[in-house]
Amino acid sequence: MAMNIIISTTCLFLLLLLLPLVSCTNNNQVYLVELGENNIKGDKTLHEIENTHHSYLLLVKETEDEARASHLYSYKHTFNGFAALLTPNEANNLSGMEGVVSVHKSQTRIYSLHTTRSWKFVGLDGPFDPLEQKSNETNRDLLTKAKYGQDIIVGMVDSGVWPDSKSFSDEGMGPVPQKWKGVCQNGTDFGSSNCNRKIIGARYYLQGYEKIYGPLNEEEDYKSARDKDGHGTHTASIVAGRAVQNASALGGFARGTASGGAPLARLAIYKACWPIKGKPKNDGNVCTNIDMLKAIDDAIEDGVDVINLSIGFPAPLKYEDDVIAKGALQAVRKNIVVVCSAGNAGPSPHSLSNPSPWIITVGASTVDRTFLAPIKLSNGTTIEGRSITPLRMGNSFCPLVLASDVEYAGILSANSSYCLDNTLDPSKVKGKIVLCMRGQGGRVKKSLEVQRAGGVGLILGNNKVYANDVPSDPYFIPTTGVTYENTLKLVQYIHSSPNPMAQLLPGRTVLDTKPAPSMAIFSSRGPNIIDPNILKPDITAPGVDILAAWTAKDGPTRMTFQDKRVVKYNIFSGTSMSCPHVSAASVLLKAMHPTWSPAAIRSALMTSARITDNTGNPMTDETGNPTTPFAMGSGHFYPKRASDPGLIYDASYMDYLLYLCNLNLTQHINLTYNCPNPLPQPFDLNYPSIQIHKLNYTKTIKRTVTNVGSSKSVYKFIANTPKEFNILATSSVLKFKHVGQKRNFVITVTANRDQLPSKCDPDKYYFGWYIWTDNYHVVRSPIAVSFQ
């Protein structure tokens, strides 16, 4: 099953039903205790902070042992307080004590975990890839300037790492950076020898998980930073994997040199995501809020430069309820770039995770590589299919049937055609190729059902919703997937032919496919429902069929109980894969521009992104229609151009506090900050994109750009808008005399009422963009507008 690690509604519902039973075993529950004394400045060691927290617990617990046993985590950077097991009475007593600001029960928020070709596709090749001479010099110049990410430290909050992979070799790397303050935590099958000059630190976090689900079943995962899932290993190698030649997925697909985008960057592993008890890995993972908050807290303390979080909540969370948002803001305060996946709940609108403006939020799109596995019909027609199934069917034709025609009698129409478990009649299936529809049930599980019934092959057919989105999976029998259009052709052939026969041809890797990139159907979409003043996602990056390192303890499909195949590299898809691409680009930018803030790095990536594909046409979605900023953000990232963006939209921690003042949320983030009066408008946060919800007639928006290009330069304003609104800038020309100089301008957006319906739908958005250009740099900002 391709990467789309979201806990199913059913599983989550059952887990939540079990929570009261866990709570009833004793009267202790997890509480977060917030203190008034501010330790964020870092003037106390963590040990001193823990002793302070223990002293509070001693006031409500009967013994010192009980106090220490009840303590779960102390937080230093992300949250001024601690997590502990308390009874409701103890929590009430603690809340009335001096120095305690609040004591509230921790809401059990279950977050979940949301390459040989992708780097070349975005113009950034690894050090050992064959290149044309001109491209070679240009790209090596970019990587050389960034020193391949050398000594930049990336914190990976994920499911751990498989340290034995060649992708994590430290051969030829220099000593661990002196700024590093982290540890290599011992655990099951993971010791200090598993850390090296590439993986410089590793920790794991179980307190929250075990307090909800009970002790970890060590048959299901390692009680250490070692990865038994594959997800964490995959994402870590995309960011900073070393160049490994002749790497490929099962069956030899995508063979080439696998390399991370910043192959000399250092990795710090923070394992905070664990299996659902009794479930296969492809059913999802759980990452509890207090475990993740502690992982981010430690990453800040340890000295990382970038934090990658390919994690999200199944639905958008308010800032005050979102530990990723809270932790990320404190990381940004320490000048740490935080990159998060947008989620895999697309193409539904309002579905994206991690919408905070201090986070880089990443969607997923394709690369110019596919895996063709055609279908040859007995009438001589060939239908295009796609697959990475490592099995061959042979040269003979076999009968081709619709799943709905070979099911047991009595199957409900709502469940028909999908090849769900125990729905196919072996007497009708044996020796045949079955066309199963996509839409219900796991894709790879369908091949197990066809296999159970004696079928020799599977064709996975798209419905109209999935359209042109054909995932690549390593099935258990010869299989290929087809688009909706080709599904209709196959259905028509079966209905019109007295003896339909087909042959599934072997799959092969095909490069330079067009059009690419296009948006992945699963990539979560805007608009941002947490704050309609902020356009999200920010950017898109390769997240479809990405080859990267894998654990040796989980099969390529993550179907734990059925898939016993072992691979060193695996092809996976998801915003979890696109997120580390942007993290790697952030590493390179931070190495090249060490004084740039996280906001500056985000701005460079966003304003330099591409909005066209390799045919020169606008990027499209799974339907073939032009995509919008609610899917691609500012566009598809392009690191080479981002390294020299010309202008940047910068923002500081204080700017974010002012923004939160407008939302009346500062008390949830910084207790000591007093909001000024009057406040700037929230839409005036200096962001590289603009979203306006319910525009009545006109709105003015303030922005500031900083010159990071030529010392003396002149930028002119150009706008591209739909007929529904106009964009003007005051001034329309910005002149700079030196690097670092700032210039303010005002954007005025005006509705063209004669082009709008008499009654506007406030949820219908129209899109445009504006740019500043000096005839060399193009600094693009998307804009989304709805009307009332």
- Known catalytic residues are 158, 231, 576
CB 467 within 8 A of CB 483: yes
CB 161 within 8 A of CB 199: yes
CA quadruple 67, 71, 76, 77: dihedral positive or negative?
Answer: negative
* Number of residues that make up the chain: 788
User: Side chain identity at 263, as an amino acid letter?
Assistant: P
Tokens of 48: 């001193």
CB 582 within 8 A of CB 633: no
At how many degrees (to 10) do helices 575-592 and 133-145 cross? 70
DSSP class per residue in 650-671: ---HHHHHHHHHHTT-GGGT-T
CB 393 within 8 A of CB 478: yes
Give the single-character DSSP code of 519: B
Among candidate residues 522, 600, 188, the one with its CA nearest the CA of residue 344: 522
Is residue 201 packed enough to be buried (19+ CB in 10 Å), middle (13-18) or exposed (0-12)? Answer: buried
Q: Name the region of 483 (left: φ>0; alpha: ψ -120 to 50; beta: rest).
A: beta
- If one counts every other C-beta atom within 10 angstroms of the C-beta of residue 109, the result is 18
Cis geometry, peptide bond prior to residue 678 (ω within 30 degrees of 0): yes
* Alpha carbon 43 to chain centroid, angstroms: 34
- If one counts every other C-beta atom within 10 angstroms of the C-beta of residue 460, the result is 27
Tokens of 382: 């060939």
Strands (E), 281-374: 285-288, 306-309, 311-312, 337-341, 360-365, 369-372
